[in-house]
Chain A
Amino acid sequence: MVVQTASSINKISRDLTGVRLGFASCVFRMIDILRNFPPILCKLAGRLRSDPKSLILYIKAFVKGFFYAIFFRLFRNNVTIKLPFLVYYKVRICGPGSVFIDRGCSVYPNIFDGLSIATFSEDAQVRIGKGCSLGGVTIRCHKKIVIDDRAMFANCLIQDALFSVSNPINLKIHEKNYLSPLDVHIGKKVWLAGQTIVLRGSNIADESIIATGSTCFDRDISKSHLAIGNPISRSVSVKKIEKMVEGK
């Protein structure tokens, strides 16, 4: 209906070739565009009604993220951030490697810690998917770290090598593989709880959970499993835990 009215008004404006009617058609077009995004408007209106302070914070975070994205686009060629990027706290990205953050990510404060990403070589590659919440995450990358869409993080550490800054001296005794960096992959909708450490060679599948205070390395965690321990010894599937809770 709206489209039809707008087009009819356009026709009238063309016929009359008047400036005022042209302006009116412009306004109608704007309304048209706004009506094409009802979910966002509904969300904003709902927020304004329920909690006006949070809306102000939301807008502030949006603007802050916008400025971060512009800063990294102007001064760092290796970093690309896509909008919207909601920043409620500090973001710190440094190092020569390439960093890619997809749209819809948000950074909340978590134990006085924002997002900090450090890359230590030019081949290093960090890739973060859509809609992740990245409060309190520190990432130190030598080779490759991939995080898929909608992963959720508390205050945690993700490294793909044992020692990030400098290598240990006693290399002759420990001539094993574990001193070299290995890729890290974190799947969709993964939840890393607080104080967890994800080290080299860990491969976490979709929808799985890692419990508080556990470390994960050299291990594949299968889909929708809960992993506990420092280091992680075994993982339990979420369906089994639900059955245990129900008492069957």
Chain B
Amino acid sequence: MKDIYAKIRGYLFTLKCRLMRRNIVIGSRLQLYCRLEIKGVGKVFIGNDCIVSKIIGDSRHYVTIYTHDPSATVSIGNNARLFAARISSKFAIQAGDNLLIEESGIMDTDFHSLSSDRKDPMENRNQCRVVIGNRVSIGARSVICKGVTVGDDVIVWPGSIINKSVPSGVAVCGNPVRLVK
């Protein structure tokens, strides 16, 4: 019963995006188990067969995708599973197929400079873009920072903060990241 309701809700959401918001492109067969909040005027692409849900037992979490710039792009591949994920982008976030995110965030900007006046930071698009490969799964309460490329088949343990690039086919944990032996 819940699955049918989620499919209907996803279909209605895709229809609404097609009619009202042209900057959002969502593939077919989206399943919405909780609220999906997309803010901003940047472009958002989501592939086919995606599942958007909250974690059982956490009532207040939902999935957010924010774009802070008109030139920002967020693209998520097919068959992604987003459980209470938080994505906020100013430049570009690109994720492959079979992505699994569980109560954790991805951001590609610092939102302000590190000096004391807190003005706009001098950030490049090439410096700050986040690229995530295929079949990546990210555990709970972890953060992916700006300017990081994550390879294919990576498992990110819960509670890790990824501030440098990760090769493909490994499991990483900790702050700063290190390989799990």
Contacts and interface: CB of A to CB of B under 8 A. Distances in A.
A116 B158 CA distance: 18
B174 A162 contact: no
Given A166-B100, A170-B155, A230 B175 contact: yes
Interface string B131-159: 00001010111000000000001010111
A168 B100 CA distance: 7
Given A163-B139, A165-B83, A230-B159, A178 B57 contact: no
A100 to B, nearest CB: 17
Contacts, number: 89
B51 to A, nearest CB: 8
Contacts of B87: none
B102 A164 contact: yes
Given A215-B158, A231-B174, A164 B55 contact: yes
A16 interface: no
A173 interface: yes
Contact of B57 (A117, A170, A199, A231): A117
B73 interface: no
A157 B55 CA distance: 13
A92 B161 CA distance: 28
Interface of B: 53, 55-60, 81, 83, 98, 100, 102, 135, 137, 139-141, 153, 155, 157-161, 169, 171, 173-175, 180
Interface of A: 92-95, 112, 116-118, 120, 138, 140, 157, 159, 162-166, 168-170, 173-174, 176, 178, 197, 199, 215, 217, 230-231
